[in-house]
Structure 1
Amino acid sequence: MILATTPDLPPLADPDEDEGDAVRRDAAPAESSRASRHWWDRNADEYQDEHGEFLGDDRFTWCPEGLDEAEAGLLGEVKGLRVLEIGAGAAQCSRWLAAQGARPVALDISFRQLQHSRRIDLGRGSEPVAVVQADAAVLPFADGAFDLACSAYGAVPFSADTAALMREVHRVLRPGARWVFSVTHPIRWAFPDEPGVEGLTATSSYFDRTPYVEQDAEGHATYVEHHRTLGDRIRELTAAGFHLLDLVEPEWPEALDQEWGGWSPLRGHHIPGTAIFVATRD
């Protein structure tokens, strides 16, 4: 399937960018947000083409290890709940939630990713998932608008101010609601992002929170990812008014031989690749 040439999804113009480099440097919220929006708009077609089969059209998988919500049950009973999926991409998780009787809203900073959600809905002839384009750190919803919030590798690692993001999620949830999200396991930041043996030797400090930035020749960020330690994440959650219920570190399944970037069977059997935080709002 060539996603960019489907009639309902016209191709994007090729980006006119000079070659840049990858560095570790500070990146403010506005720069990070802008870089994420443009990067995902540019790369959504390739991402969905490469990973679409693994993600499915209506599968809720938490991570490259393939842990599905249908098996894990981290969200609890979702039927009838108003659910906000943050960093939804093409809304595959929201489509699964809708099939379970939930009322999901899929939010993403990338318009192109949300166009892929529409493409999937049109191809299936199904009821369209409700989608919203917005920055997760500034949610355009009323206080207490949702009964549940979730994010599978969406938004959290790309936000420069995740403390503010946690406060925003807290604000739009009703009391007692769950907030469940998955991110790259923080320990991975100490290792090269490589699937082979070179990815098994620590080369950086786990405690170095300097963002990873890809930038163009003029020094403008084109991709930004932010690191927090496990302790940082827990403190952000509790400071925002959440109670941590569980921290899940999925093990690599014996039957899974598919690589995804730096995730691989070799690394997965030695170090954790994903951390899933399960919390409730006070």
Structure 2
Amino acid sequence: MPDGRADETALNRALWAVMNERFTDAAAEQLWARPEPVWGLFAVPERELGVLGDVRGLDVVELASGTAYFSAWLARAGARPVAVDLSGEQLATAHRLQRQHGPAFPLVQGDAEHVPLADGCADLVVSEHGAAAWCDPERWLPEAARLLRPGGRLVFLTNSHLSALCVPAEEGVAEEQLLRGQREAYKVQWPGGGVEFHPSHGDWVRLLRRAGFVVDALHELYAPPESDDHAFYEIVSADWARRWPAEELWVATLDAQATG
């Protein structure tokens, strides 16, 4: 890994140690206790989106899993997940909640750009507000492809490109105007935070195809009418997200011909 990217990764790791201490450790308790999967800041139910399908018996790798609540939901649905995250603090929270709530599944400390798992170990790779925002897509998408068996699926959620264009340069909540150029949003280093990636739709399609994927769907997620602002992740308000998509949920399949 080039020195510059190593420094960025270390910055993000340090940021998530602080985030875990201040916010996500407490929030994870509620997420682990949820009876069914939801997506994103405003908890859009998976049953309404139907992007995962039947996961029973599937080998799943969750990249940038954070406190691994999504892997817990998948395990309860019959999958065999492995949760991978860069932050030891986040994984410590996941381990505590495994003991408290169950079920047990492997927790692996590792970078989504360099995953310490074998080639072709997964039927499904998933990342919910993880790898897509915090990892270089030119690095983590080929890793996702490497982990998948031919015909396997990749499902990931990230901030909408539009929201990234509307957040002030000094951070804050998205406004009702464009505040940065489209190309500027590809890679953003926040003054008081980490380094994030917000490719355009065209960039995502190009990078997914280069890694061997066929794009199946792009779901733009809005805040439901009754939603309140997120408790701590304040990139968009609920009011903003009722008018414009706050998040993007991508679904892609690894092209069997591209891998074999």
Runs of 4+ in 1 over 6 A off after TM superposition: none
Residue identity matched to 2:43: G
Superposed, which structure 2 residues align to 1:169-184 within 5 Å? 169-184=144-159
Cα offset for 1:249? 0.2
2:144 equivalent to 1:144: no
Give distance in 1, aligned partners of 2:178 and 2:30: 29
SS at match of 1:200: coil
Q: Is residue 92 of structure 2 the alignment partner of residue 123 of structure 1?
A: no
Deviation for aligned residue 1:247: 0.3
Deviations 1:68-112 (A, max 9, x none): 224322112100000001111111010110111100000000010
Q: Aligned residue for 2:235?
A: 262
1:205 Cα deviation after fit:
1.2
**How has the CA–CA distance of structure 1 residues 210 and 265 changed in structure 2, closer, same or farther, with 3 Å as cutoff?**
closer
**Matches of 2:75 and 2:39, distance apart in 1:** 17
- CA apart distance, 1:50: 5.6
Q: Which moved more, 1:40-49 or 1:108-117?
A: 40-49
Deviates further, 143-152 or 253-262:
253-262
Cα distance 1:151–1:79, how it changes in 2: closer, same or farther (>3 A)? same
Show the counterpart of 2:197.
226
Letter in 2 for 1:103: R
Q: Which residue of 1 aligns with 2:213?
A: 242
Note the C-alpha offset of 1:258. 3.1
Contact 1:214–1:224 under 8 Å retained in 2: yes
Query: Aligned AA for 1:110?
Result: S
Q: Secondary structure at the match of 1:35?
A: helix
**Structure 1 residue 211, shift from structure 2 partner:** 3.0
Partner of 2:187: 211
**Relative to 1, partners in 2 of residues 1:97 and 1:210: Cα closer, same or farther, differing over 3 Å?**
closer
Query: Can you give the 5+ residue segments of structure 2 that lack an aligned partner in the other structure?
Result: 256-260
Q: Which residue of 1 aligns with 2:250?
A: 277
Partner Cα separation in structure 2 for residue 121 and residue 50 of structure 1: 14
Residue equivalent to 1:191: 166
Q: Deviations over 1:227-251 (max 9, x none)?
A: 2111111111011000000000012
Higher relative contact order (CA closer than 8 Å, sequence separation 6+): 1
Q: Using structure 1 for the length normalisation, give the TM-score.
A: 0.81
The alpha-carbon deviation at position 67 of structure 1 amounts to: 1.4
Q: How many residues align?
A: 247
Distance in 1, matches of 2:32 and 2:113, equals: 27
RMSD: 2.1
- Supply the AA of the counterpart residue of 1:88: S
| Counterpart-to-counterpart distance in 2, 1:251 and 1:39 | 27
- Deviation for aligned residue 1:252: 1.8
Cα distance change of structure 1 residues 201 and 50 upon mapping to structure 2, 3 Å threshold? farther
Instruction: For 1:122 and 1:69, locate their aligned partners in 2 and report how far apart those are by CA, in whole Å.
Output: 25
Q: 1:74 aligns with which of 40, 51, 62?
A: 51
1:113 aligns with 2:90: yes
Q: Which region of structure 1 is more displaced relative to structure 2, 131-140 or 250-259? A: 250-259
Instruction: Indicate the SS of the match to 1:254.
Output: coil
The Cα of 1:122 is off from its aligned counterpart by 1.9
Extract unaligned runs of 5+ from structure 1. 1-26, 217-221
1:193-214 per-residue CA deviation (whole Å, 9 max, x = no partner) reads 544xx71122211222463324
Tell me, yes or no, if structure 1 residue 135 matches structure 2 residue 120. no
TM-score (norm 2): 0.87
* Conserved 8 A contact 1:86-1:136: yes
What are the superposed Cα offsets for residues 152-201 of structure 1, whole Å, 9 maximum, x if unpaired? 00122112x31221111101100111100000001112212544xx7112
- The residue type paired with residue 119 of structure 1 is R
Q: Distance in 2 between matches of 1:66 and 1:236?
A: 28
Contact 1:57 1:120 (C-alpha < 8 Å) held by counterparts: no
